Structure 1
Amino acid sequence: MADADWSDLPKELLNMISERIDIEIDMIRFRSVCSNWRRSSSVPNHHLNLTINFPLHKSLSNSTITSFCCLSKRSIFLIKPQPPQKQQQTLIRPWLVRITQNSSGKKKRFDPFLSHHSSSTSFYLPRAIDFHKLSVLHLGADFITNELAFHMLLPQKVISIGKHSLFLGILKNCTPQLVLFTCGNQPWKWIPEISTTSGDICVFKGRFYAADKFCRTVMIGPDSTVQMVAEHVVHGGDRKLLVESDGELLLVDIYESLDFGINVFRFHEKEKKWVKLMNLGDRVLFLGEGCSFSASASDLCVSKGNCIVFIDDSVSAYWMQGGNGVYHLDQGRVSPVSRYHEYFNLFSPPDWILES
């Protein structure tokens, strides 16, 4: 009996299958099978939302200027080869990479993580990377735009939840208030109950959370209702960043001064308060303005966790290099990430990628 030719499956069936894929790396693998599968899954309104139209405020737009800007989803992956069975104990350096795709999924761009990595940093990637042969861990995503950065109504940060895509955004240099919006031509819904000046937003357990500079934290519903879930923390720092780590919501309180310091808190849902953590264990936090995420030291193939890596210029410190630094909680100090090669090398293509 001849083997089935999977490339000849009907387009309608392939389309139905692709619409049920909820994980982006699975969609990338699905589309890489063959050209027929790729064409059949080019659905503009697929709920993975590779691009979205962000509505600009109508009072600052006119008939000659579009009232939307286009945001592209940029996903964060930790990738490494799947070792042969006999070499399971061999540590192979993984690659921490951001990948941007357009709405059809055809174009992929590999973006450098560290802010001092520029286009002059030259390396040659293979023409195609076969994700079927890789171990891939999806760590997070952000949304970016190619619009002029000085437009004060462009979003500083956007997060999303749900198949029907509800979005929460912070505007850039305009207002400390949040905006809630959906795909389509619907206007913003302002969230006036909390200010995000020096605060942050994130998704935790499929829900929107926002914290202000005093650590007051709210949960925002899809109908724009706001529920207070944690009161303020006394004697806080200058900047707050939220990050999900191993099933828990963490708040990183940052003191941006010459005496740079950090406190980390864990959200206690039942008691509705932030509880200070003294140790992150095996976890490594990666903090940035557009997206924060975490991974285990074992997944990263680094010697230990219990540290925080700053990946952009969202936080300023004298000892950082272009906004990039590593803070070890057990040492209580921050240093340029270039001093720690096991972290610094995560952001550059490893030999097994360049040689593939």
Structure 2
Amino acid sequence: MAPAMSDWSALPMDLVNLISQGIDTEIDLIRFRSVCCNWRSSSIRKHHLNILPFEFPLFKFRSLFDSIINDNTIPFFCYLSKCSFFLIKPPHEQQQTLIRHRPWLVRIRQYSNGKTQILNPLISYQSPFDSLHSIDFNKLSVIHLGTDFIVHDDSLLYDYMYPEKIVAFTGNEKKPIVLGAFTTTSKPILLKCSNENRNGIPVMTAWFEDICIFKGRPYVVHKTGRTATLGLDDFTFELVAESLVSGGGDIKFLVESDGDLLLVDVYESIGFDLMVNVLRLDEKEMRWVNLMSLGDRVLFLGNGCSFSASASDLCVSKGNCVIFIDDAILNFNFENILYGNCIFDLVEGRVSPLCDCPEYFNLFWPPPDWIVKRS
């Protein structure tokens, strides 16, 4: 007689909570919470970085810097949504067949109330996939590529200033800390916010281009390429790289790739094609060094989040290219071709609209047949 199947939903909730506290990766927690509705509602989300509902302070548009340093100013608090980028691949048994199943690169938005929504990563405004209602991560091969945070749509107030980019990390006390980057103000600043201090603390007032998390610490790049990291003890900045010669290009992106911190330096000029240089941080020499090739890697650069993946994981023929998504770059060349979502080939030194490169464009749209049939 075959043994009876265990009813995992009948586990005591105290035990479910205890198990969930030991999970420290995004994918594993999603899979844990998708076992059944009891596990989803009972697992303690507040123990996990970047998952708990988080309030972020907003200040009036005209006096953002003065509002922050003025203790009498009461900010408006908004909730943040978490957007995660995943590369979803077929189950392993399907990957072993002779039929090639392309993966799907998708963005999933998680609201503070636990609701989730599947979005198109190529579009800056919210564009849900209405035909897909659920994805069972327990039955698929999933790679977590990156995460960003955005303000809830229902929190938007037009007389308030909103951060261009938000990142989250843990300090030495292992408590979540959120940094919001405001780069279009007269005095660009970073706002530090945690559950213990919700008012926000300005931690940097120099002009900067991008911010990212590398090895668990925030890194900020100046428009000249000068780069610093934020100390986790006193929240002061420590220089890690000097400026580029002549300051480099017009737009800079920071992105982690295969254990290295890269700087993507973009030269843009209306009427001409984009030019892109990729540099690697030499931590010992405290400088950026030119990177001649990305090898198998593909860089994805967006307004809120940048990440990388291998060409083999993406199931594309080659890497060594940079893909701009989320309308991170908007430029017209001399042929009046708009480069919004585009791809730059580092070997050929040429930029093309992403829609002209179906092998890469199809990573985002349309959803592959194998996942549509499963939803």
Q: TM-score, normalised by structure 2?
A: 0.86
Contact conserved, 2:92 with 2:141, CA < 8 A, in 1? Answer: no
Q: Following superposition of structure 1 onto structure 2, how do residues 164-183 of structure 1 map, counting pairs within 5 Å? A: 164-171=175-182, 173-174=184-185, 175-183=187-195
Equivalent of 2:199 in 187, 196, 217: 187
User: Gapped runs of 5+ residues in structure 2?
Assistant: 61-66
Of all paired residues, the percent bearing the same amino acid is 52
1:214 aligns with 2:231: no
Distance 1:89-1:298 versus aligned 2 partners, 3 A rule:
farther
Equivalent of 1:154 in 148, 162, 169: 162
Which amino acid in 2 is paired with 1:167?
A: V
Which amino acid in 1 is paired with 2:195?
A: C
1:226 aligns with 2:237: yes
Distance 1:143-1:122 versus aligned 2 partners, 3 A rule:
closer
* SS of alignment partner, residue 169 of structure 1: strand
1:251 maps to which residue?
Answer: 263
1:295-320 residue CA offsets vs partner (Å, 9 max, x unmatched): 00010011100100000222222256
1:44-63 residue CA offsets vs partner (Å, 9 max, x unmatched): 564342531111248399x9
CA separation in 2, counterparts of 1:170 and 1:86?
Answer: 41
* SS of alignment partner, residue 229 of structure 1: strand
Contact conserved, 1:152 with 1:173, CA < 8 A, in 2? Answer: no
Deviation at 1:354, TM superposition (A): 1.1
CA separation in 2, counterparts of 1:305 and 1:136?
Answer: 20
Deviates more, 1:243-252 or 1:25-34: 25-34
Which amino acid in 2 is paired with 1:171?
A: F
1:309-335 residue CA offsets vs partner (Å, 9 max, x unmatched): 000222222256462100001111211
1:266 maps to which residue?
Answer: 280
1:300 maps to which residue?
Answer: 314
Distance 1:182-1:68 versus aligned 2 partners, 3 A rule:
same
Deviation at 1:201, TM superposition (A): 0.5
Contact conserved, 1:152 with 1:172, CA < 8 A, in 2? Answer: no
Contact conserved, 2:274 with 2:351, CA < 8 A, in 1? Answer: yes
Which amino acid in 1 is paired with 2:313?
A: D
Distance 1:298-1:243 versus aligned 2 partners, 3 A rule:
same
CA separation in 2, counterparts of 1:122 and 1:293?
Answer: 22
Contact conserved, 1:178 with 1:195, CA < 8 A, in 2? Answer: no
1:24 maps to which residue?
Answer: 26
CA separation in 2, counterparts of 1:122 and 1:259?
Answer: 32
Deviation at 1:10, TM superposition (A): 0.9
2:58 maps to which residue?
Answer: 56
Distance 1:73-1:151 versus aligned 2 partners, 3 A rule:
farther
User: Gapped runs of 5+ residues in structure 1?
Assistant: none
Contact conserved, 1:214 with 1:233, CA < 8 A, in 2? Answer: yes
Contact conserved, 1:217 with 1:232, CA < 8 A, in 2? Answer: yes
Q: TM-score, normalised by structure 1?
A: 0.90
1:67-106 residue CA offsets vs partner (Å, 9 max, x unmatched): 211111111100011232782564311110110122343x
1:204-237 residue CA offsets vs partner (Å, 9 max, x unmatched): 1111100011000001013311100110001310
CA separation in 2, counterparts of 1:92 and 1:186?
Answer: 46
1:351 aligns with 2:351: no
Which amino acid in 2 is paired with 1:134?
A: L
- Which structure 1 residue ranges, 4+ long, deviate > 4 Å from structure 2? 116-119, 149-152, 319-322
Which amino acid in 2 is paired with 1:148?
A: L
Contact conserved, 1:169 with 1:180, CA < 8 A, in 2? Answer: yes
CA separation in 1, counterparts of 2:125 and 2:197?
Answer: 37
CA separation in 1, counterparts of 2:354 and 2:285?
Answer: 36
1:166-199 residue CA offsets vs partner (Å, 9 max, x unmatched): 1222126324222222134432221235321xx1
Equivalent of 1:73 in 79, 82, 91: 82
* SS of alignment partner, residue 237 of structure 1: coil
Which amino acid in 1 is paired with 2:224?
A: F
